[in-house]
Structure 1
Amino acid sequence: MAGSDSGGGAGIQADLKTMLALGTHGMSVITAVTAQNSVGVQGYWELPAEAVRAQFRSVVDDIGVQAVKTGMLASVELVETVADLLAGVDAPVVVDPVGVSKHGDALLAAEAVATVRERLLPVATLATPNLHEVTQLTGLEVTGERDMAAAAEALLGYGPAWVLIKGGHLEGEAADLLVGADGSAHWYRASRYDNRHTHGTGCTLASAIAAELAKGAAMPEAVAGAKEYVTGAIRGGFALGAGIGPVDHAWRWR
């Protein structure tokens, strides 16, 4: 459940590529259409709530799901619609609370932030905010690893079972922190690659976690597998267009 990226690097396109690469069958509920390329988002158009509901019911009622991942939801109405739909799903729900694009373009209306906190996070099995989204949702600024645990606790207060704080915007290692409502904590670390072509990283990680959960992995193991996959995809990111190119979803096949 996410927006369509016409450039093919993020959004629904990244989700489906990731799910295929990890041996699962992805299906799509498109919430918005973007005009987007390597240099930015030139515009986006939300789909009507009834179109989102119809897509969801079509695939869930016939085919079923073993995991759900959400991305760009754009507006209050779409966040509320998706939250209502997910409340009736008996499967893990990975919420990537998309607020801005890789290029800094807003993908969530300011008035919808509170709705994400109050309606969407409570139905999430896992929330995967980056550091900008942590600030957007909690008001906390994460400037180093020492701040990540407090950020996770603040987000857990809104109701998800797990929170993964992504430290990709910090200096040094690419370190992420997974914290559960049960108090468990897991760090995931990877080398940082000098590669600016990282479009779609957040979508790819969240979709990879959902794919691993769908295959039956427990949350800490699902995140570990997804972290390994997205690290390879970042390492293989390639120049496409004049700006920030995408990660390589097919890196394991090359």
Structure 2
Amino acid sequence: MTRAIPNVLTIAGSDSGGGAGIQADLKTFSALGVYGASVITALTAQNTHGVRAIHAPDSAFVTAQLDAVFEDIRIDAVKIGMLANADIVRAVAAALRRYRPAHIVLDTVMLSKNGHALLAPDAVAALREELLPLAGLVTPNLPEAAALVGANGQAADEAAMRQHGEALRSLGARAVLMKGGHLGGSESPDWLIDETGSHRLGAARVDVKQTHGTGCTLSAAIAALITQRPSWLDAVTDAKAYLVGALRESTRLQVGTGIGPLHHFHRWW
């Protein structure tokens, strides 16, 4: 019998420039062989130079989108990105508790690549209390992890990364991928911390300017691949390999004059 193609849902904001958010997620899903559905939590006016404006829909409309998708489509995994405000965080959490998808990847989006706030300050507590306990995997960068655990500053080394990851697990997340891109240096080490222990995932830093949507793409790739791999470690490892390829080939694209997007379809174009 032919195996059914997985269906993966992204719950995130829209990027009018096409490099991050919903657009990056759906490209990643297609590139990795899954069908993508979407629930849009915010509209952004942005390009490769940054975010100019944000419009968040009423949380009731977010709930309507979630109900429409889950009531009709088998969802094998969920990726969560930009949620904008506390009401939307709570609406998403309520829907996930109702429908109980098998795999949830939470990308704790708080700032854009250019430093624009994508999550209201009062929503951080809601994210911590409502969504972390539902997440199969949470994928914070170092500043996001520090904000969630209430640390004075972001982790400055890999030992502190692991400490923040363990703190996030104590808040309810079953697995944590601590992304080390903010450490600097020639390597970009990540740490996956789950019930089996701590796993270091090293990779040489790819020196390109086109890095818009990196976090969105990685979390979307993990959500796509967890439906096709036996463990978070396998899904994360293969997702990182896909991301490295998309970064390396990003110079083939000519999109905007600021921080450009990754090449999501580098294997085919």
TM range (shorter): over 0.9
TM-score of the pair, normalised by structure 1: 0.96
Specify the alignment match of 1:82 in structure 2: 92
Distance 1:55 1:84 in 2: 13
SS in 2 for 1:155: helix
CA deviation map 1:108-162 (0-9, x unaligned): 0011111111111111010000112112212332112221110101111110110
* Pairs aligned (count): 253
Q: Give the RMSD, CA atoms, in angstroms.
A: 1.2
Specify the alignment match of 1:96 in structure 2: 107
Specify the alignment match of 1:164 in structure 2: 177
Structure 1: which 5+ residue stretches go unaligned?
Answer: none
Higher mean displacement: 189-198 or 115-124 = 189-198
Distance 2:71 2:126 in 1: 26
CA deviation map 1:172-224 (0-9, x unaligned): 211110001x2511111212121021000000000000001122431110001
Alignment of 1:11-160 (within 5 A): 11-88=21-98, 89-140=100-151, 141-160=154-173
CA deviation map 1:10-61 (0-9, x unaligned): 0000000000000000100000100010001001011111211111111111
What is the CA-CA distance between 1:240 and the residue it aligns to?
2.1
SS in 1 for 2:124: helix
- Any conservation in 1 of the 2:78–2:101 contact (CA below 8 Å)? no
Distance 2:42 2:113 in 1: 17
Query: 2:249 is matched by which residue type in structure 1?
Result: G
TM-score of the pair, normalised by structure 2: 0.91
Q: Which runs of 4+ in 1 moved over 4 A?
A: none
In the alignment, is residue 174 of structure 1 matched against residue 149 of structure 2? no
- Any conservation in 1 of the 2:187–2:205 contact (CA below 8 Å)? yes
Specify the alignment match of 1:243 in structure 2: 258
Distance 1:231 1:139 in 2: 31
SS in 1 for 2:71: helix
Alignment of 1:175-194 (within 5 A): 175-180=189-194, 182-194=195-207
